[in-house]
Amino acid sequence: MKKPLCFVMLVLTTGPALAASPSPVTDTQYKYGMHLDIAEVISVTATPVKDAVYPATMEYIDHQGQTERLSYIVTDTTWGGK
């Protein structure tokens, strides 16, 4: 009798925690002309390389409340190292 009761208690106590866990972040590679649904930008990360093209990542929340991660490339903006 104790085993079924323990199982029921486990389900009742962990169920809400599992339901409240955030959905996984969706990783997307940007393509030219792609529609972006950005409600709030969380972070933008990049490691600039002088006079080069390098990868960057933006993490944001869309209008449905889902967290998204977008990878894209950027160019050096120092224009000739100035």
Q: What is the pLDDT of residues 14-45, one digit of tens each?
A: 555 555 556 678 889 999 999 999 999 999 99
Mean residue pLDDT of the chain comes to: 77
**Banded pLDDT at 71 (limits 50, 70, 90):** very high
Q: What percentage of the chain has pLDDT greater than the value 90? A: 45
Determine the pLDDT at residue 5: 47
Domains of the chain and CATH, by start: 23-82 (2.30.140.50)
- Other CB atoms within 10 Å distance of the CB of residue 69: 14
61-79 mean pLDDT: 88
The helix/strand/coil state of 54 is strand
The predicted model scores a pTM of 0.62
